[in-house]
Amino acid sequence: MNRTTPLILAVALFMENMDSTVIATSLPAIATDIGTSPIALKLALTAYLVSLAIFIPISAWMADRFGAKLVFRVAIGVFMLGSVACAVSGSLGEFVLARFLQGMGGSMMTPVARLVLVRTTEKSGLVSAMATLTIPALIGPLIGPPVGGFITTFFAWHWIFLINIPIGAIGIWLSGRFLPEIPPEPTRPLDVTGFFLSAIAASGIVFGLSVVSLPALPPVVGVVTIGIGVISALLYVRHARGRDYPLLQLKLFSNPVFRTAIAGGSLFRIGVGATPFLLPLLFQLGFGLTPFQSGMITFATAAGALTMKFVAPRILRTVGFRTVLLVASGCSACLIAANGFFTAETPYLLILSVLFLAGFLRSMFFTSTNALVFADIEPAQSGQATAISAAAQQITVALGVAVGGGALELWSVFTGQAIGGAGFTFAFLVIAVITALPMLLFVRLAPDAGKAISGHGGPRPTAEEPQQL
């Protein structure tokens, strides 16, 4: 494996993952400037998520048809165009359309980057490569809010988007210069009906969940949209069963390792996806901290994620996927529950320690499941596996935010109390239970599942063949 490949891909993904959260603390300033309200402007956040949901399923077909490297570079360019459009937007409509354009680029960057990695990396080196690629997805959402607040306070909100231009240009140049050429794969005609059904299904569910968790529109709109999405998903399943080459090949779920990795990873993301939403609220509403102070505390999670990168291959080689995923999901659930008992008097050193360990385990889990998805998949199926995995991740992260917000609202409705310490305790306990559920799936994995990737049970590396870290 070319050691520069995951680093180049990670730079682009860092830009995307940070940008998706960096505007959160800047919404009031942007809303004032373009003449709208912060609540209405949350439609821009939803537009980005909907765009991802629509175009992720087609990413595998695009990469096979035109070549993964070319699609990845074009995706960065589209993301840059969307960034410029956001910076020059003068109305709510323009800003929402610009964020949708950004999402089109982002929808190709993440799954295609993972596909490039899978097709250019031997299975024995996939864990190390995935560890590098996982870090941006964990760090970006954590540093996005404080960076957005800093830029908006000391410069102007436009620079939140314009800063993507030099980063994107460097990414296009580096990927063109150093990424290996990946020729197009033989492709069947595009499953147009499948594309429209999957687009309505994924975007309907994501949009509906976003409306429920971010009340920019009446909640009934979100409920109806979720219903439309679910119906479309069922119609797609029926459609896919009747075609030899559907857009997303659901027959991959007949593979027990792939099925467990997707299902277990999705449950875990529902729980963990709520944490970045709840923690800043706890620190700011419960502790009275500023957004910047809150962001500096939650950054401990990113430090834990970075540490994981250096030890993940050795841990997986020693104990295997099954043990790692069981321990990571169980311990992560306990640490999430611990968040619910933080108070303003809790020593910051203890909070930082809990968040550091949570970041380490969370990153270990994501690295493991992202690699396990491809453990028993044939190379020709890697594009399909990537698209299905990316679509599942997008939907479950949105569901996590909705579950976290819903738990807070549920507590407030049933107790008649304003959202406070007890409400946060209840919400964290709810998502802790969800985070622990994947253990019921992973306990059924064979002890040597994914051994071709983890090396567990295989020969130990010799002095002449050091482990990849």
Instruction: Count the neighbouring beta carbons within 10 Å of the beta carbon of residue 88.
Output: 12
Q: What is the pLDDT of residue 295?
A: 67
Element (H, E) at 387: helix 382-415
CA distance 386 to 413: 40
CA distance 227 to 208: 8
CA distance 140 to 159: 17
Measured N-to-C along each axis, helices 59-66 and 68-87 cross at an angle, to the nearest 10 degrees, of 120
Element (H, E) at 368: helix 348-372
Q: What is the mean pLDDT of residues 139-153?
A: 70
Q: Residues of 384-409 as b/e, b for ≥16 C-beta within 10 angstroms? A: bbbbbbbbbbbbbbbbbbbbbbbbbb
Determine which of 63-67, 338-342, 434-438 has the lowest per-residue pLDDT on average.
63-67
Q: What is the pLDDT of residue 418?
A: 67
Instruction: Count the neighbouring beta carbons within 10 Å of the beta carbon of residue 268.
Output: 29
| Mean residue pLDDT across the chain | 83
CA distance 387 to 108: 10
CA distance 380 to 387: 13
pLDDT, tens only, 94-120: 998 999 999 999 888 888 888 888 877
Decide if 300 contacts 359 (C-beta within 8 A): yes
Decide if 424 contacts 281 (C-beta within 8 A): yes
- CA torsion 85→91→95→96, rounded to 10°? -140
CA distance 185 to 65: 6
Decide if 191 contacts 65 (C-beta within 8 A): no
CA 122 to chain CA centroid, nearest Å: 24
Which CATH number applies to 1-182?
1.20.1250.20
- Return all residues near 45 (Cβ < 8 A) that are at least 6 apart: 23, 24, 99, 210, 214
Confidence of residue 212 (pLDDT cuts 50, 70, 90): confident
Helices (H), 67-91: 68-87
CA distance 204 to 342: 36
DSSP 347: -
- Residue 269 sits at the vertex; the CA angle it makes with 266 and 273, to the nearest 5 degrees, is 150
CA distance 347 to 343: 9
Domain ranges of the chain: 1-182, 199-246, 249-456
Q: What percent of the chain has pLDDT over 90?
A: 26
pTM of the model: 0.80
**Pick from 88, 73, 96: which is nearest to 161 by CA?**
88
Asked if the 249-456 domain carries CATH number 1.20.1250.20, the reply is yes
CA distance 123 to 60: 20
pLDDT, tens only, 73-101: 999 999 999 999 999 998 888 998 999 99
CA distance 208 to 220: 9
Q: What is the pLDDT of residue 138?
A: 62
Residue 418 DSSP SS3: coil
Extract the tokens encoding 256. 């027990």
Q: What is the mean pLDDT of residues 305-333?
A: 88
Intrachain domains 1-182 and 249-456 with the same fold: yes
Decide if 148 contacts 163 (C-beta within 8 A): no
Confidence of residue 465 (pLDDT cuts 50, 70, 90): very low
Confidence of residue 332 (pLDDT cuts 50, 70, 90): very high
Q: What are phi and psi of 443, to 5 degrees?
A: -65, -20
pLDDT, tens only, 217-269: 787 888 899 999 999 999 999 998 888 788 888 888 999 999 999 999 999 98
Extract the tokens encoding 365. 């889990």
**Cα distances (Å, whole numbers) of residue 7 to 12, 174, 454:** 9, 10, 21
Extract the tokens encoding 236. 């797609």
**Pick from 469, 273, 445, 307: which is nearest to 376 by CA?**
445
